[in-house]
Amino acid sequence: MRLDAIIASMQTETIHNLQIPKIGFGTWTVGGRETPDPATDAQSLAALRSALELGYRHFDTAEVYAAGHAEELLGQAVREMGLAREKLFITSKVSPEHLRYADVLYSCEHSLRRLGVDYLDLYLIHWPMQGMQLEDTFRALNLLLREGRVRHLGVSNFNLELLKQAQALSAMPLLTNQVPYSLADRTYVENGVLAYCQQNDILLTAYSPVKRMDIASHTVLQEMARARALTPQQVAMAWLTQQPRVITIPKSTNPQHQAENLRAGDLRLSVAEIEQLA
């Protein structure tokens, strides 16, 4: 990828006549982890309200997050804020154990109910599963598209071979492949997925954009952040969002960190800075 091509439009990514915020809000651990944890509801709702007040409009969730409770809390926070549905971009995901035709339809219907919405902007296969029948899965996903319960389709954690299979089966262009991607994790660069997405108008949604990074020992990142009066996390996320067809979904319960994450989408790194980081 040419370094001058890395400098992309900030804030939103325009694809298939759709504008998607470069920085979204992830909801893993909202309301619990694998199971609901009602003791954390107040903190989770406060984090969601804060994100909405700061201007986050792209929210990523899944039926497996707190066994659906994350979707419930997100729906509650949105209703309390009184935002019009069309102002939000909401993504949810179907779990790998629910990829049979009837199970996909059931999962989507229950995600919609928990969120309290009539449609999902984006619906993803959360993880590939050994022995899955993608033809059967996409038969259901394409029905959801036709019925208007889902506006766009995508996948998550798919390697290049599976991504191409999904692309061929989808009734409309796949919108994204959501994968781990950060300065510390270049797996989906090395396996060819990022380049393929950029060449085929598919977003790469980077989750865990700063996770597993040893920021304290990353000298270049630290120096760059100090020189710009930014946090290292902001610089790391700016490195992601300046790449064509890359967006990211950090999560924080801290309003200050939420605001810093959101501002990272507006930052511009120079070609020299990108070279240093890369």
Q: Which residue among the candidates 56, 65, 181, 188 is catalytic per the annotation?
A: 65
One DSSP character per residue, 211-268 reads TT--GGG-HHHHHHHHHHT--HHHHHHHHHHTSTTEEE----S-HHHHHHHHHGGG--
Measured distance CA(179)–CA(235) in Å, rounded: 20
SS3 state at 209: coil
Measured distance CA(119)–CA(230) in Å, rounded: 38
Please confirm, yes or no, whether 106 is among the known catalytic residues.
Answer: no
One DSSP character per residue, 137-206 reads HHHHHHHHHHHTSBS-EEEES--HHHHHHHHHH-SS---EEEEE-SSS--HHHHTSHHHHHHHTT-EEEE
CB atoms inside a 10 Å sphere around CB 117: 20
SS3 state at 46: helix
Task: Give the CA distances from residue 3 to residues 159, 210, 277, in Å, rounded to whole numbers and listed in that order.
Answer: 25, 22, 12
Report the half-sphere exposure of 79 (CA within 13 A, side-chain side).
10
137 with 99: CB under 8 angstroms?
yes
Catalytic residues: 65
